Amino acid sequence: MSGFTGFENPTTPYREKPLNLGDIILRPASTFIYQKAHSDRSVLVRKDDWVVVDASMKPESTDLVLAEQYGEQSIVPLAKIHNIQSELTVIGTATAIIRHHRPAPPLPKGKLQQELHAALIPMPAAAFLSKANGSRMAGLGVRDNSLLIVRRDVDYQQGDLAVVYADNAFQCRLLNLSNGTLDDGLGIQTPITGPLAIEGVVTASISFQRQVIPQWQA
């Protein structure tokens, strides 16, 4: 079961220093967001994903990297590159993948570190962050240990991922309202038998490829 921490009072551990998603940008001068191009056949990222790429970070054997070959860019495992004989250039190391579960907002046009938080959370007072625990939602794009952006200012609708209170626990589930069920990434459907307690809509999730914010990944 996918569970989450911090729902009773998600701000408590961070009162001295508020959470800011810009903190995932360690080296602003060399970091940018890559969006999958039509020529990128990688199954590791989706069309609307934002891949945070650090051009100054030396990749390790288990890293995902942005590589260019014959003028086309793609996200590939570094280990796979070692088996490619033709010319290929590593542009940077992927440090995080931001997956949008609602239509993606416009990319920040200014300084990424300063504008990323506002782009993903336009109304901070009506949102909170939490962390997924378990792989039950992986089939729907929420990996274990992903950081979830949960917004209460967004009206929920059919097909949304949402944080709900069910079976005496907070859970992330797909709202299959037309079928009257809460669905997980394994295809298990749980009937909605009472009033639906929705804490917020999961508009995006962030899976870290590198440990950039230790307290978020503990």
Condensed to tens digits (0 to 9), the pLDDT of residues 51-96 reads 999 999 999 999 999 999 888 899 999 988 866 656 789 999 999 9
Q: Which two tokens stand for residue 1?
A: 């079961």
**Lowest mean pLDDT: which of 37-46, 114-123, 183-192, 200-209?**
37-46
Query: Residue 11: its pLDDT value, please?
Result: 41
**Cβ 161 vs Cβ 142: under 8 Å:** yes
Q: Note whether 80 and 90 are within 8 A (CB).
A: no
CATH number of the domain where residue 87 is located: 2.10.109.10
Looking at residues 204-217, what average pLDDT do you find? 77
Q: What is the mean pLDDT of residues 109-130?
A: 93
Higher pLDDT, 6 or 70: 70
Give me the domain span that covers residue 79.
3-216
Domain count, the chain: 1
pLDDT digits over 35-56, tens only?
987 777 778 899 899 999 999 9
Average pLDDT in the 106-131 region? 93
* pLDDT tier, 179 (very low <50, low <70, confident <90, very high otherwise): very high
Q: Where are the beta strands (DSSP E) in 61-168?
A: 64-69, 72-77, 89-100, 127-133, 147-151, 161-166
pLDDT of residue 186: 95
pLDDT at 123: 95
Cβ within 8 Å of residue 84, ≥6 positions away: 69
**Which one, of 164, 155, 150, lies nearest residue 204 by Cα?**
150
Q: What angle do CA 88, 93, 99 make, to 5 degrees?
A: 115
Q: Mean pLDDT throughout 152-166?
A: 95
Q: How far is CA 152 from the centre of its chain?
A: 18
**Residue whose pair of structure tokens reads 């274990």 in the numeric block:** 144
Give tens-digit pLDDT for 91-112: 999 999 999 999 999 999 889 9
User: Rounded to two decimals, what is the model's pTM?
Assistant: 0.86
At 6, the pLDDT band (50, 70, 90 cuts) reads: very low
Alpha carbon distance 197, 14 (integer Å): 26
Q: What's phi and psi for 114, nearest 5 deg?
A: -85, -25
* 207, containing H or E segment: strand 197-208
